[in-house]
Amino acid sequence: MSFLDNSGDIIIDAVLTDAGRKRMAAGDGAFQPVKFALGDDEINYALYDSANTSGSAYYDLDILKTPLLEAITRADSALKYKLLTIPNPELLYLPLLKLNTGEVPLSTTTNAYIVIVNDAAAEELAGGSTLPDYRTIFNGRSGYIDGRDAANAAATLKIKIDQGFDNSGAGGPGTIMESSLEELQFVMKVDSRYLEVVNPSNAEVAELVFVGSDKTATYLVTEVDDAGFFLPAPVKEKTDMAGPVGKQLVFSLKGGADILTNTTYYFDTFGRSVANFNGTTSTFNVIDSNIQVEGFTQGSVINIPIQFISF
């Protein structure tokens, strides 16, 4: 990655993402771009100088001369801050996404959701219990997801993300946000080696859109096609949002096929050993990762910390 020389001329530097190149290379005529996105990741608008004594033509000159990063092909980092077109000129606040830790707390010691990926870890956490089903044990512990399969994942913990205005100036807490601003489609990105997204209503893995060359798996969930991922807007006692809220996104996670079948390799290569993990007296193997959730309409993004454990 490098910067492009920008002496003040308008520069357009466009590339296809890895997924785009793959689809175009198929040569079957299915590659038909219908949308594009613009971003301003590099721009510092504080450089706008309305007091420049040389006149209005110079107010934005420093911005126009800002060096730009060359276009990159990784879809997960190509545009972090997309530009939006909002028809309402009186809108003072933008909605955002917020993890609902009031209803579904993170682990109190690791500040992450913990995904169990092998039987030995489940048995150790259960205290050597011979119960055929560990769900009741994990349900009583903050932040644990039994990620050994989709059914266990959906039964143990459901991550909830609120959308709305975290500012009382936008309206009263617990009221319903304007429908035109509500997110009804979400893009979810995970490391395909470690994670799969689970629909909590039917315990099925969500439909995968594509996997990039960097192993990032992209899922798209919509209210129309994937209603099980959506809950009604929470009442004010069930959300930390200070203003109006919209529908709640809910999902669970299971271990990816790679980490479930090659547990030793992945933890030896990318993991670390943690003694007395999460308040236990045992040493677990841990891999740190995250899941990124992005609203399809407004572009608000949230990253959720995830830890995978084996024993």
Q: What is the C-alpha separation between 272 and 244, in angstroms, rounded?
A: 42
For position 88, what pLDDT does the model report?
A: 81
- Cα–Cα distance, 5 to 281 (Å, whole number): 56
Q: Is there a contact between 139 and 156 (Cβ–Cβ < 8 Å)?
A: yes
Q: Give 46: exposed, middle or buried? Use CB within 10 Å, 0-12, 13-18, 19+.
A: exposed
pLDDT at 266: 94
* pTM confidence score: 0.81
CB atoms within 10 A of CB 268: 10
> Which tens digit of pLDDT belongs to each residue from 108-153?
889 999 999 998 998 888 776 554 455 555 655 678 998 999 998 9
SS3 64: helix
* Phi, psi (deg, nearest 5) at residue 267: -75, -35
**Residues 23-60: tens digit of each pLDDT:** 888 888 878 887 777 778 788 889 999 999 999 988 99
DSSP string, 25-50: HT-SS---------B-TT--GGG--T
Residue 183's contacts (CB-CB under 8 Å, 6 or more residues apart) are 95, 97, 163, 246, 247, 249, 295, 296, 297, 298, 300
Condensed to tens digits (0 to 9), the pLDDT of residues 56-88 reads 988 998 888 887 777 777 665 667 777 878 878
